[in-house]
Amino acid sequence: MPRDLHTGSVAERVAALNARYKHHSATAVLEHALKDDDLGRVALVSSFGAESVVLLHLVSVIAPETPVLFVDTRMLFQETLDYQRELAEKLALCDLRTIRAHPKKVEFDDPDGTLHQFSTDACCALRKVEPLERALAQFDGWITGRKRFQSNTRGTVEFFEAEGDTRIKVNPLAHWGREDLEEYMVENRLPRHPLVAKGYPSIGCAPCTSPVKPGEDPRAGRWRGSEKSECGIHFINGKPVRTGEAA
């Protein structure tokens, strides 16, 4: 269960954390905030996607004991699964936990694997949102790789966000740009997701991810042709969580 060392509501703790670390760097947020009682016990949630290696590497160096949660929807690209295994070994991730939906629930709700064709929201809820929520129940917060430049819906992301009255979301790379990520990967000689070279700057499940053309939003290839832009793990009460919003 989460540690009960902090006081105040989630929103109050988020405000205090953002004020405390406002002028800090991503590494400082990880070095200090992860030990801050206002944050509590946290896990890193990683998709092992196009940019995931940067945050995974930072955490492996700064706080290697941090649990890493990987949601395997059973609909991921084979390249993602291979990349996940490669990074786990290269970065020596010592507490990597693979999260999946309960087989009987999948069998009942999506017996033929076609749910995504009729309702992407229902498919994401079944295969990603619900399993992750179950896994996060023992944590006070979680670390994400969300960044402002990724899309319009993420343009106001701060280091810390309130996830309703439940948990705190930590976004250490919120202010990083694409050039910062590129420089970090080059300097640290980090392996790239193989699909990036094929035009996939944002990578999710295989049926709902397509290549992105030059000049398009980096997440334009996610659920192309629909208004959907998030899988749902960054939503509270059906709305995307942004700075200052608790619901």
CA distance 135 to 137: 6
Question: Please, which residues have CB within 8 angstroms of residue 130's CB and are 6 or more apart in sequence?
Answer: 101, 105
Of 123, 205, 208, 231, catalytic = 231
The verdict on whether 231 is a catalytic residue reads yes
Six-digit token string for 63: 């706080």
Task: Enumerate the active-site residues.
Answer: 231
